[in-house]
Amino acid sequence: MRLATVRTGGGTAAARIDGDVAVELDAPDVGALLTLGGLDRAATAGGGVRHDMADVDLAPVIPHPGKIICVGLNYRAHIREMGRDIPVHPTLFAKFPEALIGPNDPIVLDGASQAVDWEAELAVVVGRRVRRADAGTARDAIAGFTVINDVTMRDWQFRTIEWTQGKIWEATAPVGPYVVTPDEVGGVRPALEVRTVVDGEVMQQDDTGTLLFDPVFLVKYISTLITLRPGDMIATGTPAGVGNARTPQVFLQPGQTVVTEIEGLGTCTNKVVEA
C-alpha cells in the first residue's frame, strides 16, 4: 500500500494511492492517519474525493512528525569519504518538522550558507507506539518507508563538533512522495537502490541493503532511549557522494534540479532557487 498527504483547497488530506488515483481518507495527513488507526484503517477506509495523480500537489508525507531521528555515518563508503572510523553504535541527531517540505517543492537557498549539500536517505515511518522494543516488536512497529533528502548546510554543521545547526534549517528537507508499506519493497530490511542526481549527473548511488544499522535495529535501539509513536520518522543515513567530500567540493546552486530517489519508494524532485 502507498499513502500520501495531498494539499487541498482546505488544507491537507491523507490519501491512499490506487493506481494513478489518490483517494482521500478521513484524516488530515498520513501521520494523523497512523495515529488514528494505522494501516488497517487506511486499507479498509471507503473512498473519499479522488484526485488524478498527475494533478495532485503533494505535501510532506508526514507533515508534523513528533520526532525525526537521524542517523549519521551508516554506509561504509560514506564513512570513508568523510574520514571517519566505522562506528560501534549509531550516530544520532534530530531534525524538526519545520525543516520538511513536499517532494516537489523548491529548495530555497538561504544566503547565510554557502555550502548547501544533498543527502538522499531511506526514512523509516513508525506505525505504532513502541518502547524498549525487542527485534520482533521493532519489526512490527515499522509502518513503511519513504524518501528524505537531508539537505545540510555544511559550513554551519562543522562550526562545532555538534552537527545540529547544519541540519535543522527551516523548509529545506524534501520528504515523500509516499509512505510505502514493507510488503511492497521486500520487507523491513529492504535492499533498494538509492540515488541522487543533480542536473542529470548521478552524485550518489548505493543500496539500502548495505546499511550498517538496519531499520529493525534502529527502531530497537532508539526505542531504548525514548518512546516512538505513530508518525515518527527515522532517517537512516546517506551513501557516499555528498558534495562536501568531493575534490573540489560541489554544492547546490540556484537553477539546479536535485532528484533523490529510492527504488520502489518514489522520487523527490526539487528545483533549487534563491531566496
Distance from C-alpha of 152 to C-alpha of 133, rounded to nearest angstrom = 31
Looking at the predicted structure, is the pLDDT value of residue 16 above 80? yes
pLDDT the model gives residue 204: 97
Which CATH fold topology does 1-59 show? Answer: SH3 type barrels. (2.30.30)
Tell me the per-residue pLDDT of 172-210, one tens digit each, with 9 for 90 and over. Answer: 999 999 999 999 999 999 999 999 999 999 999 999 999
Q: What is the model's pLDDT at position 76?
A: 87
Can you tell me whether residue 109 is helix, strand or coil? strand
CA distance 122 to 102: 16
Specify the pLDDT at position 33: 95
d(Cα 4, Cα 53) in Å, to the nearest integer?
10
Q: Taking the domains of the chain in order of start, what are their residue ranges?
A: 1-59, 62-274
Specify whether the backbone of 175 is left (phi greater than 0), alpha (psi in -120 to 50) or beta. Answer: beta
Average pLDDT over residues 122-146: 98
Q: What is the pLDDT of residue 18?
A: 93
pLDDT at residue 183 in the model = 96
Sign, CA dihedral 189-152-93-2, equals: negative
* 174 three-state secondary structure: strand
Hey, what CATH topology would domain 62-274 get?
A: Fumarylacetoacetate hydrolase; domain 2 (3.90.850)
Q: 3-class DSSP state for residue 39? A: helix
Averaged pLDDT, 130-140: 98
| pLDDT tens string 112-132 | 999 999 999 999 999 999 999
Condensed to tens digits (0 to 9), the pLDDT of residues 38-82 reads 788 777 666 689 999 999 999 999 999 999 999 998 998 888 888
3-class SS of residue 145: strand
pLDDT of residue 243: 97
What is the model's pLDDT at position 78? 87
Mean pLDDT lowest for which of 16-30, 69-83, 195-209, 257-271? 69-83
pTM summary value: 0.96
* Fold match, 1-59 / 62-274: no
